[in-house]
Amino acid sequence: MERYLLRDDIWWAGAIDWDVRDFHGYETPRGTTYNAYLILDEKVALVDGCREGFGPEVLARIRGCCGMRPVDYLVVNHVEPDHSGAIPWLVERLRPERIFCSKRARDVLGLYYGAETVDGWNIQTVATGDEVSLGRNTLQFIEAPMLHWPDSMFTYVREAKTLLPNDGFGQHLATSKRFADEVDMSLVMEEASKYYANILMPFGGQIQKMLAKIGELGLEIETIGPSHGVIWRRPEDVSRIVESYAAWSDFQAPERVSLIYDTMWHATEQMTMAIADGVAQQGVDCVVARLSSNPRSEMARLVLESRAFLVGSPTLNNNMFPTVGEFLTYIKGLRPRRRVSGAYGSCGWAGGAVKQLDAELTALGLDMVEPIEVKYRPSEAELEACVELGRQVARKVRTTG
Ligand code: FEO
């Protein structure tokens, strides 16, 4: 089995999931990886686990790196099942002398795998500032609540200047390459952006605090090994992903308008194209995405990567179209901020969708434009009003940012 050295004493010992296409509702067309890291020192430490079923791959990689040497320590940075699902299986086989995790992680491990199982493990709970020496290397723990769950923490390998931040800085990307600089960077950044949008967008405030904490602690970071996707090791790539997190968590976005819509008899679609014309007339980038043709995970990325997003829906039985309702439920949970937004759409004899959409988007605290609703199909005058709406939104986007 191929071995991958990150740097100094740190090896990649993870698993590649080429096949996963639905990651708790997030469509993952390029699969993912569950990265674990093995530090070979006077003490051997494994940082992170993997999803249930991938334990044999991780174990084979560990054996490929250190033969039958015992793994003394196991660090559980996060207990979501994509990282902890195989922990009981691995613990049974590796029998680590000690397991390090946050206090919350310990409680949740008990809830997932049974207190009677977890009580048999020698768990040492750790908090920010706690350290453990492996010999040449020191592991420093940093609590990272809500990156991605309350139990999450980062592990920093001080001498190797390597941050192992679990879900932070990841991408759902399966590849035979382990490092970002070995893969097409535009693809890596697209997946990093989609990952941030779908997994971390609600936690911008906590991410800002974490970035500040890393600064306060004076951590020098030359390598970032997330638990999903490829590893950041070139200085320009480490800077690129950290700066992207600083911008995303502050809800900064490119000068772009996304029109996210669905349509029954093409009336809402006609309105969409007219709005897109108006945006383009102002020289602002516009993306048009029909909900029934695109996964909602891609729509979340558009919301992250656009200063404005308008939502268009036909009315069906006095309600918004089902795909629009699903999108709205999803996006409400992701809590976008600092976005221009608005509702538009068509109806037959009675409306409903546009009013509901406008109310729900307003409740998100977005900077709303006046909604437009047309009956049956848009007239020339109504299409011109849509073009003007596009111009108006483009002008607003120009002055925000
Ligand atoms: Fe990769 Fe929050 O799990």
91-105 per-position pLDDT tens digit: 999 999 999 999 999
Residue with tokens 């925000």: 400
Instruction: Quote the tokens at residue 88.
Output: 């009981």
Residue 89 has φ and ψ, to the nearest 5°, of: -65, -45
Q: And the tokens for 141?
A: 């723990």
Determine which one of 41, 167, 298, 373 is catalytic. Answer: 167
- Residue 261 parent element (H or E): strand 256-261
* CA-227 nearest atom, ligand 1: 1
| Structure confidence at residue 370 (pLDDT) | 98
Task: Compute the mean pLDDT over every residue in the chain, rounded to the nearest whole number.
Answer: 97
Catalytic residue among 34, 57, 73, 78: 78
367 is annotated as an active-site residue = no
Determine contact, residues 48/35, Cβ cutoff 8 Å.
yes
**The pLDDT value given to residue 124:** 98
CA-CA distance, 84 to 52, in Å (whole number)?
8
From the candidates 41, 57, 82, 262, give the one annotated as an active-site residue.
82
Q: Would you state the pLDDT for residue 348? A: 95
Cβ of 148 less than 6 Å from ligand 1? yes
CA distances from 88 to 49, 63, 69, 120 (A): 10, 18, 19, 11
At 111, the amino acid letter reads L
pLDDT band of 107, cuts 50, 70, 90? very high
d(CA 281, CA 270): 17
Is residue 401 pLDDT above 70, yes or no? Answer: no
**Cβ neighbours for 243, distance < 8 A, ≥ 6 positions apart:** none
- The question of whether 17 is a catalytic residue gets the answer no
Whole-number Å distance, alpha carbon 80 to ligand 1 midpoint, is 5
Distance 153 CA to ligand 1 centre (A): 11
Instruction: Give the rounded distance of the alpha carbon of 164 from its chain centre.
Output: 16
Q: Which residue's C-alpha comes closest to atom 3 of ligand 1?
A: 80
What does the alpha-carbon distance between residue 276 and residue 290 come to, in Å, rounded to a whole number? 13
Active site residue 24: yes
Sign, CA dihedral 179-180-184-190, equals: positive
Residue among 48, 228, 305, 382 flagged as catalytic? 228
Whether 191 is catalytic is: no
Query: Per the structure block, which two tokens stand in for 208?
Result: 């800002």
Report which DSSP code applies to 370: P
Tell me, what's the pLDDT at 8? 87
Q: Does the annotation mark 83 as catalytic? A: no
- Which residue has a Cα nearest atom 1 of ligand 1? 167
Query: Ligand 1 mean position to 120 CA, how many Å?
Result: 25
Is the pLDDT at 7 greater than 90? The verdict is no
Provide mean pLDDT across the span 71-90.
98
Please give the share of the chain, as a percent, with pLDDT higher than 70.
Answer: 100
Ligand 1 centroid distance, CA of 148 (Å): 6
Q: 82 CB under 6 A from ligand 1?
A: yes
Catalytic, 167? Answer: yes
Length of the chain: 401
Please determine, for residue 2, whether its predicted confidence score (pLDDT) is greater than 90. Answer: no
**What's the CA-to-centroid distance between 83 and ligand 1, angstroms?**
7
- Is the CB of residue 167 below 6 angstroms from any atom belonging to ligand 1? yes
pLDDT for 301 equals 98
Q: How far is the CA of 129 from the centre of ligand 1 (A)?
A: 23
Residue pLDDT, tens place only, 202-232: 999 999 999 999 999 999 999 999 999 999 9
- For 309-347, what is each residue's pLDDT tens digit? 999 999 999 999 999 999 999 999 999 999 999 999 999
**pLDDT tens digits along 246-301:** 999 999 999 999 999 999 999 999 999 999 999 999 999 999 999 999 999 999 99
Q: Are strands 44-47 and 73-75 parallel, antiparallel or unpaired?
A: parallel
Residue 199 alpha carbon, nearest atom of ligand 1: 2
Beta carbon of 296 within 6 Å of any ligand 1 atom = no
Helix (H) or strand (E) holding 74: strand 73-75
